[in-house]
Amino acid sequence: MTTATTQVDDLRLVAAPTAVSCAEMFVRFALLEWKLRPLADDAATVIRHLVRSSVDGADRRSPRFLTVRLRLHRDVVVVELDDDRPGEPPELPGWTINTVALPGGHRTAWCELPLPAGVTGALPTRSPHRLPSPATEYPAEEPLPEPDFLDSQILQRVLHGLNGSAR
């Protein structure tokens, strides 16, 4: 039996105050792309709450990462946050937030938002005007052709410049 889970998008952020607005923008954009605009306000409220609670407990001297994930699963959109905070996030009135502890002191917190009656999500499709990616132009077993514009001296200069800028 197959499941109707469609893993969608995720976003990795530094646990800084700007992460709250970035996560909200990511959620709103993804839901707009999936034609689930009616859920955007609720999902934004949930993700703001989850990210803010994680950022508020972050050590500013030692930045860490958060992962925001949206998942379309049957008749719900799952809004998730992975971070390295122990315990439960603060409650959000009107919403059920679940948390599971993961190895290494990490956790995943999530909230399921039911799709409105008669609404189904639709993953974005490729515009007919976009060119196919190189991966679709060449079979996987055939190597891509060597570009004829590669010059070893240019590559050495670029590598030298990159190595020099890292100091």
Sheet (strand 98-102) strand order: 5-14, 65-73, 76-83, 106-114, 98-102
Band the pLDDT of 1: cuts 50, 70, 90.
very low
The answer to whether the predicted template modeling score (pTM) of the entire model surpasses 0.85 is no
For residue 167, is pLDDT > 60? Answer: no
3-state secondary structure of 10: strand
DSSP string, 16-69: STHHHHHHHHHHHHHHHHTT-GGGHHHHHHHHHHHHHHHHHTS-TTS--EEEEE
For the chain, give the percent of residues with pLDDT over 90. Answer: 34
On whether the CB atoms of residues 95 and 72 are closer than 8 A, the answer is no
Exposure string over 52-65, b if 16+ CB within 10 A, otherwise e: bbbbeebeeeeeee
pLDDT digits (tens, 9 = 90+) for 113-156: 999 887 776 655 555 555 555 444 444 555 555 555 556 666 66
CA 39 to CA 8: how far, in whole Å? 15
What average pLDDT does this structure show over 87-115?
Answer: 89
What pLDDT score does 45 carry? 97
What average pLDDT does this structure show over 24-38?
Answer: 91
For residue 50, is pLDDT > 70? Answer: yes
Residue 112 has which token pair?
Answer: 């399921």
Dihedral angle sign, alpha carbons of residues 100, 88, 114, 80: negative
